[in-house]
Amino acid sequence: MALAAAGCAGDYAREELSQDGTEARNIRHMVEALRDAPTDEELAAVIEKQLIALDSRNADRRKMTAAVLARMASAEEVEFLLFDRYGDSVYRVNLRLRWEQGVENISMLLSPDEQGDLRWVSPN
């Protein structure tokens, strides 16, 4: 279902990606940009830039994804657990978010936009 939500159908071979690979570095930079936004308005602009373009039928998914990204930005620590890819166009990152009050593990799907830049699609 998650792969279908990312705009894909069919069987996709899973490939674990290097923690030091290009895609992993790009995703780390995306997370850093979220966490470095100094105001709520600037965070909203960063989130909007990083979200994949979805049609109006996916407005709820877009809002949910934006909320997860805002939660990620507010974490005291973000630990990258796993980077993997399904086929040529679906990426997943598993993260551990830490706050003083607890820990949350999340998985997020990404896909390249028309220019080939990775964009957040949705939680997985």
105, containing H or E segment: strand 102-112
- Answer yes or no: is 28 within a domain: yes
Q: Contact 118/108 with Cβ under 8 angstroms? A: no
Which long-range CB contacts under 8 A does 20-26 form with residues at least 24 apart? 21/83, 23/83, 23/85, 23/91, 23/118, 24/80, 24/83, 24/93, 26/117, 26/118
- Answer yes or no: is 3 within a domain: no
pLDDT given for residue 11 in this prediction: 62
pTM: 0.85
- Answer yes or no: is 8 within a domain: no
- Answer yes or no: is 9 within a domain: no
- Answer yes or no: is 6 within a domain: no
Residues of the chain with pLDDT under 50: 1-9
- Answer yes or no: is 30 within a domain: yes
Q: Contact 113/50 with Cβ under 8 angstroms? A: no
Number of domains in the chain: 1
pLDDT given for residue 57 in this prediction: 80
pLDDT given for residue 101 in this prediction: 94
* Chain segment 65-98, per-residue pLDDT in tens: 999 999 999 999 999 999 999 998 899 999 999 9
Q: Residue 47 belongs to what domain range?
A: 15-123
Q: What is the CATH number of the domain that holds 109?
A: 3.10.450
- Answer yes or no: is 1 within a domain: no
